[in-house]
Amino acid sequence: EGQEYCYDCQGKEFFFEQGKNVWMHTGVVKWSIYQFKYRNRRIYGEFYAKEMYRLFGTWIRENGIDLIIPVPLHAKRRKERGYNQAEILAEYLGELTGIKVEEDAVVRRKYTSPQKRLDNKERRKNLHNAFAVVKDLNGFKNILIVDDIYTTGSTINEVSKTITLNFTSK
């Protein structure tokens, strides 16, 4: 039987309302995401976005999503990799939904260690104050934040926190 919260989410407060995933990050999916993220298989992003839309297009419409923001990479990491895989997903999803994508509304101002090597507490500490909102987001009510991998929710939560605090400080 399904449960309302995953193990990582139970008993925690988040700045975002919901997290959704297309697949579990195991087996061939894990391999595929690795190729997309580190081996320049950018074309995989189109397939992933189509699957996101197939599974969650109705949910996106029903929840009045009016802006899509990809999780940003630090400028140094983006230069090393040559692209931001979350941005690719967001752009394709924006095309499919007709929703505006603001790939530069939030920046990663702190160069952080890769999250995959850290436990939950270290992930939160690693990301503390890592992001900044650099565009006016007033007028947007329901923002969808897109990332390639959701493990503990630390990254999405920190981006959400940054956006939320930007609204409440005005």
Q: What is the pLDDT of residues 93-125, one digit of tens each?
A: 999 999 999 999 999 998 877 777 777 778 777
Q: What percent of the chain has pLDDT over 90?
A: 59
Q: What is the pLDDT of residues 27-68, one digit of tens each?
A: 999 999 999 998 999 999 999 999 999 999 999 999 999 999
Residue 29: the pLDDT is 92
55-64: long-range contacts, CB 8 A cutoff, minimum separation 24: 55/20, 55/22, 56/20, 57/96, 57/97, 59/20, 60/97, 60/99, 60/144, 61/97, 63/142, 64/141, 64/142
Question: 163 falls in which pLDDT band (50, 70, 90)?
Answer: very high
Indicate the average pLDDT of the chain: 87
Closest by Cα among 36, 10, 15 to 25: 36
